[in-house]
Chain A
Amino acid sequence: MSHAFEVPTTNPAGAEEGALAPELLVRIYTAMLRSRCLEERLIRMNKQGDGFFWVGGPGEEAFNAALGLLVLKGQGPQFDYLHFHYRSTATLMTMGAEPVDVLRQMKNTATDPYSAGRNFCNHYSVRKWNVAPVSSPIEVQFSMAPGTAIANKRAGGRGITIVQGGDAGTAEGDFSTCLVWCSRPGDELPCLMLVTNNQWGISTPYAQQHSEKHIADRAKPFGIKSAVIDGNDPEVSYRELKKAMDYVRAERRPFLLEAMVSRLYGHSSASGANFVPEEVDCLVAFEKRLQDRKIMTRAEMDDLRAKYTQELLEASKRVRDEPQPRGESIWEHVFADRDLVHDSPDRDPEPTNGRH
């Protein structure tokens, strides 16, 4: 079944009309396509026994790819801090992450740069880009976001904090925490709260548990600006994200953006990871638009898909031969032996290790 949801049919007031430049659209498209091919490869790996579990973001590519293009990427509070969820694949790919690294995490190899074989796939951690470690508990990132946003505000630049989660997680108190802490009078924080609403919490429909018409409406009593957009449309997503980001960057105040998206392969491998044909496929819809506007031909898009599919297949074979972590490695990194998150090297205390 498809879920009827209400998205404003016209752009919110002030939104600029018209299409994005063709070059930008091609960039967004290639990022979306590459992400989709990656997710399909991950799902296949899982089904073939090359990985224990799959969870990811097919259906969120339009919104997440647009987000990745707009991130102020770098390390430290002058840049954006990113608190993602495990459906943020397209954002990471657009930012320049290597797809093979996600395959490594799927295959839990020692070479997995995000967790060295410790975590599920799509649980990224990239300190050099301010990507906080993604964790499986839902919504905890919303209680951490005010902390990095305080640092952004102190740094005085244009860096902001971007925190993303799904619709079901907004029932957690951590979502309210973020609203309260980002809007304290006189201490408002540059935090962009993103809710990618796919209308599901695993098997439970949103409408059975939530009476609020839009999650974005919860921003209103806090004086936080908000919008609801069609997250399946990459052009709308790019424009509205840019507008929201420009506001947060310039005003140093929070914004809540709710993007209606699809969930094209169910919650995770636990629910089968099979394609759901009833939901809008943002990639298919965007391909039609690119064809209609004569920006790309069907053949070009098919060639590109074949190329990415082949590249990822080959990468997955390579990853299969990479080493698994050693059992004794569990004792590594229980404690940090130096301060990685601070610039000043003179704070390094004595090294410690994880054993008593």
Chain B
Amino acid sequence: MATMVQAIRLALHVGEERHGVTDVFGQDVGPPLGGVFTQTQGLRTAWNTPLDERGIVGTAIGLALAGQRPVAEIQFCDYAFNVIDLFKLAGGICWSSAGDWNCPMVVMTPVGSGIRGSIYHSHSFDAQATRIPGWKIVMPSNPLDAYGLMLSAVVDPNPVMFLMPKALLRSKAGPRERIPGEPDDDRALSRMIDAPLGDRSRWRPDWPDVKDAFVPIGQARTCREGRHVSVITYGRTVPVAMEAAAQAEKDGVDVEVIDLRSLCPYDWDAVKASVRKTNRVLFLNEDTEVTNFGEHLLRRTVEELFYELYAPPRLLAGAHVPGIGLADALEKASVPQAEKVAAVVRELAGHEA
């Protein structure tokens, strides 16, 4: 079972070989490092850039306009705040030119807390990203989705932001969630595609013959079916929701967990169907809670599904403070923890029909 970071690497490899990806680039993306999380090791088109996020995103726009297929990386989303106007520009190229141009590019960036990354390696980006029209935005929670969403991203004719939950990059796929063509033995996969420590100048990856397994952008996944409460989430908080669901189950609360996978466009039909089934809903993510993407979903739920709700819809998100502190207690107090999620789920379940 590939880890999420291996799955991303395999998808980029397939992108290079079969789907026209011409450039995978960013700071430390090329050899020898191949990405600070190893996500771009061994890729044929990977190259290093100056430490200049504006140059990285601007160059991606230029490459896209000139018919190339760029995948640009911002090393941590914490360093993407100085390119928000370029994101706006990329998202507006098709619209501003009334369809004269399109801008097919991917920006991938690690997001969120969970690696004790302190103030500037823990930011989330989903609230910012969803404020920028013209982009498709995806955020996987497991390796198979990461693989399939990246494949969809590299063939899309629009700018696509691929948010990588950094706490899950080392997580492994479930036993029945192999990428088609992936070797059965994890250690074999590692020997084939993970760069060795030390001198890598003569190392070349031995890519397995993995097949296409597209995950369409805009399609949610039901991670767990349940009757009493819906938890609508994505990215790092998907496993948090699953853990909370397991805790609540002990108290007889049957939780449904929906992984949105795409934030733009998002699968409103899936949200609606789940809320109509359980009549109780919690929106969960770890970005700061003021003007949070979950608030948008909650607003739409109130407007469209108000009379089907048995309980006030809830949002659990990150504390609205400037950063995530390094100490364990600070990080735990800043982003939703499973115990808190389980408590809110139980509370929601307590509202009678």
What are 27 A-B contacts with C-beta separation under 8 Å? A113-B98, A115-B97, A133-B100, A133-B101, A135-B96, A143-B57, A143-B58, A143-B61, A144-B58, A144-B61, A144-B65, A147-B65, A147-B70, A148-B65, A148-B66, A181-B50, A332-B98, A333-B97, A335-B158, A336-B94, A336-B104, A336-B158, A339-B104, A340-B102, A341-B104, A347-B155, A356-B264
Does B174 reach chain A (CB closer than 8 Å)? no
Which of B85-93, B138-146, B200-208, B227-235 lies at the binding interface?
B85-93
Residue of A nearest to B50 (CB): A180
The B-contacting residues of A in range 184-229, CB under 8 angstroms, are 184
The residue from A76, A119, A337, A352 contacting B96, defined by CB atoms under 8 A apart: A119
Does B136 reach chain A (CB closer than 8 Å)? yes
- Given A151-B67, A334-B94: A177 and B58 within 8 A (CB)? yes
Residue of A nearest to B91 (CB): A334
Cα–Cα distance between A7 and B157 once the two chains are bound (Å): 46
User: 9 other contacts beyond A81-B66, A150-B63, with CB at 8 A cut-off?
Assistant: A115-B97, A140-B86, A180-B55, A334-B134, A336-B99, A336-B104, A338-B102, A340-B101, A349-B156
Does A293 reach chain B (CB closer than 8 Å)? no
Cα–Cα distance between A325 and B305 once the two chains are bound (Å): 34
Q: How far is the CB of B341 from chain A (nearest CB, A)?
A: 26
For B97, list chain A residues within 8 Å (CB). Answer: 114-115, 125, 127, 133, 333
Does B120 reach chain A (CB closer than 8 Å)? no
- Name A residues whose Cβ lies closer than 8 Å to a Cβ of B: 76-77, 81, 112-116, 118-119, 123, 125-127, 132-133, 135, 137, 140, 142-152, 154, 161, 173-174, 177, 180-181, 184, 332-344, 347-350, 352, 354-356
Residue of B nearest to A142 (CB): B58
For B55, list chain A residues within 8 Å (CB). Answer: 143, 146, 177, 180-181
Cα–Cα distance between A180 and B99 once the two chains are bound (Å): 32
For B155, list chain A residues within 8 Å (CB). Answer: 347, 349
Does B183 reach chain A (CB closer than 8 Å)? no
Cα–Cα distance between A275 and B155 once the two chains are bound (Å): 51
- Docked-complex contact A342 and B95, CB < 8 angstroms: no
Q: Per-position contact with A for B130-156: 1 when CB-CB < 8 Å, else 0?
A: 000110100000000000000010011
For A77, list chain B residues within 8 Å (CB). Answer: 66-67
For A113, list chain B residues within 8 Å (CB). Answer: 98, 100
Cα–Cα distance between A142 and B52 once the two chains are bound (Å): 13
The A-contacting residues of B in range 252-267, CB under 8 angstroms, are 264-266
For A119, list chain B residues within 8 Å (CB). Answer: 96
- Docked-complex contact A335 and B134, CB < 8 angstroms: yes
Cα–Cα distance between A81 and B99 once the two chains are bound (Å): 18
- Docked-complex contact A342 and B104, CB < 8 angstroms: yes
Cα–Cα distance between A81 and B65 once the two chains are bound (Å): 9
Residue of A nearest to B69 (CB): A342
- Docked-complex contact A177 and B52, CB < 8 angstroms: yes
Does B291 reach chain A (CB closer than 8 Å)? no
Chain A contact residues, majority secondary structure? loop
For A356, list chain B residues within 8 Å (CB). Answer: 264-266, 268
The residue from B23, B63, B93, B133 contacting A133, defined by CB atoms under 8 A apart: B93
Cα–Cα distance between A151 and B22 once the two chains are bound (Å): 10
For B134, list chain A residues within 8 Å (CB). Answer: 334-335
- Docked-complex contact A333 and B95, CB < 8 angstroms: yes
Does B312 reach chain A (CB closer than 8 Å)? no
Does B38 reach chain A (CB closer than 8 Å)? no
Cα–Cα distance between A177 and B62 once the two chains are bound (Å): 13
- Docked-complex contact A184 and B64, CB < 8 angstroms: no
The residue from B19, B60, B65, B70 contacting A132, defined by CB atoms under 8 A apart: B65
- Given A146-B55, A151-B67: A118 and B95 within 8 A (CB)? yes
Does B68 reach chain A (CB closer than 8 Å)? yes
Q: How far is the CB of B150 from chain A (nearest CB, A)?
A: 14
Does B54 reach chain A (CB closer than 8 Å)? yes
Residue of A nearest to B265 (CB): A356
For B70, list chain A residues within 8 Å (CB). Answer: 147
Does B20 reach chain A (CB closer than 8 Å)? yes
Cα–Cα distance between A335 and B96 once the two chains are bound (Å): 11
- Docked-complex contact A337 and B157, CB < 8 angstroms: yes
Residue of B nearest to A172 (CB): B54
- Docked-complex contact B101 and A177, CB < 8 angstroms: no
Q: How far is the CB of B120 from chain A (nearest CB, A)?
A: 19
Q: How far is the CB of A321 from chain B (nearest CB, A)?
A: 20
For A333, list chain B residues within 8 Å (CB). Answer: 94-95, 97-99
Does B59 reach chain A (CB closer than 8 Å)? yes
For B59, list chain A residues within 8 Å (CB). Answer: 143-144, 146-147, 150, 181
Q: How far is the CB of B61 from chain A (nearest CB, A)?
A: 5
Residue of A nearest to B66 (CB): A151
Cα–Cα distance between A350 and B268 once the two chains are bound (Å): 19
For A147, list chain B residues within 8 Å (CB). Answer: 58-66, 68, 70
For B60, list chain A residues within 8 Å (CB). Answer: 147
Cα–Cα distance between A165 and B98 once the two chains are bound (Å): 24
For B99, list chain A residues within 8 Å (CB). Answer: 332-333, 336, 340
For A173, list chain B residues within 8 Å (CB). Answer: 54
For A144, list chain B residues within 8 Å (CB). Answer: 58-59, 61-62, 65
Cα–Cα distance between A114 and B95 once the two chains are bound (Å): 11
The residue from A81, A148, A152, A334 contacting B95, defined by CB atoms under 8 A apart: A334
